[in-house]
Structure 1
């Protein structure tokens, strides 16, 4: 049995539970330890059975998921602010609204599994173990960033994480990947984060068939409620087990929604209405849905969650302060880290008379 798993994330076109304060500690004595939750049935393609329609959520898991999603949400809001203040330049793609995808996916696999993703990857960076400080510092181009300040929003990496690539589900390459993974029965989960818009075009206007979970043709597929972290978690566990058992690849479509525009140059309201965004926020927000589930099932209460929110705000604000004051990488290190474990060699710069030495 193959024990390693590769997860490839594209679009259509780790936090820990907060240590409770005294008030939260006293209140926790009366909380439930776990609860059984119903989740939406997945749509199936070339599969006789799918993920379960109910699952157990423990209090510890709920607190961890809630805090992680709140960190990602606030980190993206801070990134938006830093971009408008011109601390962040270049491309920047935010994932607020899609937090249940990256958090649920991480909850369904192992830390030693590998994740490859395209841009809109800040949330995956965090769930893979990178700190808020290292992510925001990378966004501001400082040498303490996770890619030494040279990658920015689109090129971030971590252990077992190869993310922030600029290619988003290119049709030719995707078809070739489907083909070879099916031929060789590779343990690979292909994921389509269907946030309903390819840049500025709705899926209904760009696709004759919007059933993306069937796009693998000869690969089994699942269509999942990507706004419910438990739905994503259980579907991911199912998909991972499918791959680890030697059955080959599987495709998951996560139906989600992004609140921001495609990038920072896109206001996000020229091709959709403000009312649509407000409606999604009020009815399908992944953090709100988890929050309500926790309170209604006595896994937490308003006071404890407010403490978590305050702690998250403090963490992100401190990280942002560091990210705007840390030093930039020196010019002489411009060509460092191009190759891994190679002898140093010269790289010609933008000025042909200037040469830089590359070090791994």
Structure 2
């Protein structure tokens, strides 16, 4: 790696992996760690012969579609994509979702990519917002049941009774990848944000692993955290995810008097492709350092679940299209002692929408 980007040593990465696995174990025992261990039941199958709506509310991306289920076949209709505004407060969020609702449906399933704790109300999975992240503050909504808040808002504004069900993006990812309830699988998102979770054979587990903090922050990571709107939180995410990676570059370029400032991690990827000057090498090193950290969480989950082979359903532009990211994760998994081909990465088309839909249709 470039001298301006200090890599984690193998010994450090091994220790991070060990501490991550240890925190999963402690969190499962309801002991306080930087991780969560939010346990979701498999969704109840709702009788829904009519089409319903499915949404993705991401850190930057918004998608919506009409879903129709015929037998075991789930069909996506009218899929549209756009971007979310900055959710500074509850009203901004509720107004935005309301503006995209099909008022003729009875159910709306939301893939909600923010830290939330599962709440079961009348066999409906809802989510209590734990904190803001990815730059969104959600003032007034933290600690509230998001689905209930949306239902109340729609009823007051439109007089319609619509049931909202929602789960974290990692849970929806796992649901999209589940073919049956007998296979243990894992899933992760490395995109605008980052998170991992798994299905342990009984429950769907959301770790909120972007908040993991038992690791040495980088110097630029400390500055990125200090300048963020949630200092002290999501420390691992601030070292790995697309929301923050380019900010590390900007801090380094300023320190080294490099006359270049980036506005996105997509720009960082383009810069890494150049492969012919110092800024390019810095960009490549940032992607590699991010991949090495992501590999630690993947290895920790692999050891925790104690499977000879484990499939990870993956989502996120950094993981799938970031400069050499997937191949570097695979390289670091081998360095961390994971047998080659013991971990398989799978991408499912429209996984975010399909996973959310299964909150209504069941597995």
Bin the TM-score by the shorter chain: under 0.3
- Bigger strand share: 2
Rg: which structure is higher? 1
So what's the TM-score if we normalise by structure 2? 0.23
